[in-house]
Amino acid sequence: MILEHAGNAEARTLAGWRKLGGYASVEKALKGMTPEQVGEEVKKAGLRGRGGAGFPAGLKWSFLDRKSDKPRYLVCNADESEPGTFKDRYLMEHLPHLLVEGMIVSSFALGAKTSYIYIRGEYMYLLRLLEKAIGEAYAAGYLGNDILGSGYSLDLHVHPGGGAYICGEETALLESLEGKRGNPRIKPPFPASQGLYGCPTVVNNVETIATVPHVLRMGGEAYAAIGVGKSTGTKLISASGHIKRPGVYEIELGKVSCEEFLLSDAFCGGPKNGRPIKAVIPGGSSVPVLPLALFLKTAKGEARMMSYESLADGGFVSGTSLGSGGFFAMDESACMVRNLWNLTRFYHHESCGQCSPCREGTGWMEKVLHRLEAGQGRLSDIDLLVDIAKKIEGNTICPLGDAAAWPVASHIRHFRHEFEYHVKYPEKVKDPRHGEREPVAMPK
Amino acid sequence: MPELRFSPAALAEVKRLLAHYPADRKKSALLPVLHLAQNELGPHLSVPLMDYVAGLLEITPIEVYEVASFYTMFNTRPVGRFKLEPCRTGPCALNGAEDLIAYLEKKLGIRDGETTADGLFTLKSTECLGSCGSAPVMQIGEDYHENLTFAEVDRLLENLKQRAGR
Ligand SMILES: Cc1cc2nc3c(=O)[nH]c(=O)nc-3n(C[C@H](O)[C@H](O)[C@H](O)COP(=O)(O)O)c2cc1C
Ligand code: SF4
Ligand code: FES
């Protein structure tokens, strides 16, 4: 649905996008609906935020403080920096007008007169592409004053980040948009009452906003009929790692099994080097890793499906999370200690440094992991890591602390034997490519 | 040293950027203006250059320094003419990122984070670029170079050297 015209180069121009039915939702909403009715359809659709947390978009919109006499803002989160995630980039590159269209109807629903797309600075070429699409939309009367004679006016701008994962966190993003360091704010107050410039603000992910035109086109109820249960609609999954067919796939939530997604040629196509897949991180680096067996089947032995609920089945003991849809798979040659050290280095590097458990804890974990990986660790280091992770979790201003703790807990929970191996056979792990060169170093 | 003043075209761009934000929120334009400053008058943001930006946006110099130093894309210290930024994060590390970085280090004769003696290249490995499905990947300026092989790296570096007239 979302990616329907992604392969069609015509879709990238306004004229082409219109020919394909584009901007119909703007006509429909601005000319024939009230903002409340648009919000109602999004609620009925059961659309959940696609940025990672899966919070219902309609509900979030309903929290927006509409009584305040301050301006309201819609800010699109295009900061996409969660390792393994590259779906928003694909969407914006192939369907820039779908995002612009979504921003117009969503801003209308929220009563925003100015809206922003906050895009990570590394995507500067996409910023230029979006600005071009926005320019076309102004020229065609879909943006600016009195859009299509409806009386509704909207300005839309793109704002670049400067290279900081933390700016994906919505309050850090707002700080950054105000020209400051990306330090997350203490909540409450929530952006719905005090967001950008202290005004009521909604922050939504690119994919969430790009789905709204489809919800309006087909109606909220019809959208909710796609998918399974509370996992309504479709989700973009960016797949990478040791698989044959990396790329961005759109799946109907709950209708594709994890086995099919990993092995079928319609999706990942199975392992690429002929070695069996050992582990999967299905929702971006922050969600728990699962060993293959638990990825394919829940602890109860049921086939696991690609949906919010099924991936979460078993909680963090035997389950994981759909997260951002940043899916990556590791085969038998991957060293889980090295993988965790790498990811922990990432969180340490990206910690904004405001809270000591996150700032110090991530640095400490990185150090301990580095020495384990180099064959200089002790057995007690393994429980030390679990302990540090526990002390970070829940004790920080923003969820980056949790995001750094979960991979540590899950890597050790499911692959403790690999950590022990590093302590017991230091000479075998001296070569940094031990995973690949010495598969024996990674016993089952 | 280029003159620390924007060209008329860049000044027009600053004006366009400022119009994106409320009139009393000029500071909001800081990130886009710093990108512009680094592109036009860089490749690094010297203290006088940051002071110039502060003046344009009517904010204090410290407000610019603290922001410039927070974000990895801004070079607050001198860098080479071309900054090579290979991704080093997990998904890419599964598909050759470590080999790519090691190859670049060997080829350029420098370590990650350093600049070649001729001032042409700075090597700075970076975190996930949103290109994990096309690993190994390296960003140079605004361009993404994906699914890299060593031969392509050789070609890329050759092209950059030619562009610099070396
Ligand atoms: C450390 C951190 C990084 C995040 N990065 C992103 C991101 O890159 N893109 C995104 O849409 N949401 C990201 N989020 C989630 C946002 O805070 C926010 O929940 C989301 O943009 C809301 O949009 P949605 O409800 O449409 O998903 C991040 C959260 C945290 C804690
Ligand atoms: S948890 Fe980490 S990233 Fe989040 S506010 Fe605290 S120090 Fe900053
Ligand atoms: S991990 Fe390298 S681009 Fe995402």
Distance CA B59, CA B25 (A): 10
Query: Which tokens is B32 given?
Result: 């886009």
- Pick from B27, B64, B89, B147 the residue to mutate for testing the A interface (most A CBs within 10 Å): B89
Is A241–B91 a contact, with Cβ atoms under 8 angstroms apart?
yes
The per-residue pLDDT for A442 is 52
Quick one: which of A364, A372, A370, A411 has its CA closest to A388? A364
CB-CB under 8 Å, B132 with A85 = yes
pTM comes to: 0.97
Residue type, A382: I
Per-residue confidence band for A433, with pLDDT thresholds at 50, 70 and 90: confident
Give the pairing type, strands A277-281 and A290-291. antiparallel
Architecture of domain B8-70: Orthogonal Bundle (1.10)
Q: What is the pLDDT of residue B131?
A: 98
Residue A50 Cβ contacting ligand 1 at under 6 Å: yes
CA–CA separation, B124 and B110 (whole Å): 11
| Average pLDDT of the residues of chain A | 96
Pairing of strands A247-252, A234-241: antiparallel
A283-287, A430-434, B114-118, range with the lowest pLDDT = A430-434
**Alpha-carbon span A187 to A193, nearest angstrom:** 11
Q: How far is CA A304 from CA A25, A40, A409, in A?
A: 35, 32, 21
User: If pLDDT is split at 50, 70 and 90, which confidence band does A438 have?
Assistant: low
Q: What is the pLDDT of residues A350-361, one digit of tens each?
A: 999 999 999 999
Query: Where do the CATH 3.40.30.10 domains begin and end in chain B?
Result: 82-163
- A189: cis peptide before it, omega within 30°? yes
Whether ligand 2 lies within 6 angstroms of the CB of A400 is answered as yes
- Residues (pLDDT < 50) of chain B are none
Query: Is the domain covering B82-163 a CATH 3.40.30.10 domain?
Result: yes
**Category of A198 on φ-ψ map: left (φ > 0), alpha (ψ -120 to 50) or beta:** left
pLDDT per residue as tens digits for the range B85-105: 999 999 999 999 999 999 999
Contact (CB<8Å) A285/B35: no
Rounded Cα distance between A10 and A95, Å, is: 10
Q: A75 pairs with which residues across the strands?
A: A116, A203
Mean pLDDT of the region A280-297: 98
Question: Quick one: pLDDT at residue A436?
Answer: 80
Could you report the per-residue pLDDT of A168-188, keeping only the tens digit for each?
999 999 999 999 999 999 999
Chain B residues touching residue A169 (CB < 8 angstroms) = none
CA A342 to chain centre: 19
Closest C-alpha to ligand 1, atom 29: A169
Residues of A in contact with B34 (CB under 8 A): 162
**Cβ-count burial of A389 within 10 angstroms (0-12 exposed, 13-18 middle, 19+ buried)?**
buried
Q: Is the pLDDT of residue A306 over 90?
A: yes
Region of residue A306 (left: phi > 0; alpha: psi -120 to 50; beta: else): beta
Task: Report the alpha-carbon distance of residue A25 to residue A45 in Å, rounded.
Answer: 15
Q: What confidence score (pLDDT) does residue A444 get? A: 47
Nearest of A340, A342, A311, A339 to residue A325 by alpha carbon = A311
Topology (CATH level 3) of domain A336-428: de novo design (two linked rop proteins) (1.20.1440)
Q: Would you kindly state where each structural domain of chain A is located, as residue ranges?
A: 9-225, 234-331, 336-428
A352 lines ligand 2 (CB under 6 A): yes
Of A160, A339, A432, the CB nearest to B90: A339
The reply to whether ligand 3 has any atom less than 6 angstroms from the CB of B101 is no
pLDDT digit string, tens, across residues A252-264: 999 999 999 999 9
Q: Which ligand is nearest to the CA of A239?
A: 3
Distance, in Å, from the CA atom of B19 to the CA atom of B16, rounded to the nearest integer, reads 5
pLDDT class of A435 with cuts at 50, 70, 90: confident
Q: How far is the CA of A172 from the centre of ligand 1 (A)?
A: 10
How far is ligand 2, taken at its centre, from the CA of residue A326, in Å? 22
pLDDT tens, A243-252?
Answer: 999 999 999 9
Q: What is the per-residue pLDDT for A439?
A: 57
Residues A74 and A191 sit within 8 Å (Cβ to Cβ): no
Evaluate whether A29 touches A105 at the Cβ level (below 8 Å).
yes
Tens digits of residue pLDDT in A154-165 = 999 999 999 999
Q: Give the residue from A271, A261, A284 showing the smallest Cα distance to A168.
A: A284
Q: Which ligand is nearest to the CA of A394?
A: 2
Specify whether the CB–CB gap between A178 and B28 falls below 8 A. yes
Q: Which of A219, A221, A266, A220 is nearest to A247 (CA)?
A: A266
Q: Strands, E, within A37-132: which ranges?
A: 73-78, 114-119
User: What's the residue count for chain B?
Assistant: 166
Percent pLDDT > 70 in chain A is 98
pLDDT computed for residue A1 by the predictor: 94
Per-residue pLDDT at A300 exceeds 50: yes
Domain A9-225 class?
Answer: alpha beta
ipTM: 0.97
Let me know the angle formed at the C-alpha of A306 by A303 and A312, rounded to the nearest 5 degrees.
80
Residue B4, pLDDT score: 85
Q: How confident is the model at residue A73 (pLDDT cuts 50, 70, 90)?
A: very high
* A234-331 belongs to CATH 1.10.260.40: no
DSSP letter at A368 equals H
Asked if residue A443 has pLDDT above 80, the reply is: no
Instruction: Please report which ligand is nearest the Cα atom of B125.
Output: 3
- Whether residue A83 has its Cβ less than 6 Å from ligand 3: yes
In a 3-state reduction of DSSP, which class is residue A228?
Answer: strand
Spatial contact of B70 and A162, defined as CB atoms under 8 Å apart: yes
The answer to whether A75 and A192 are in contact (CB under 8 A) is: no
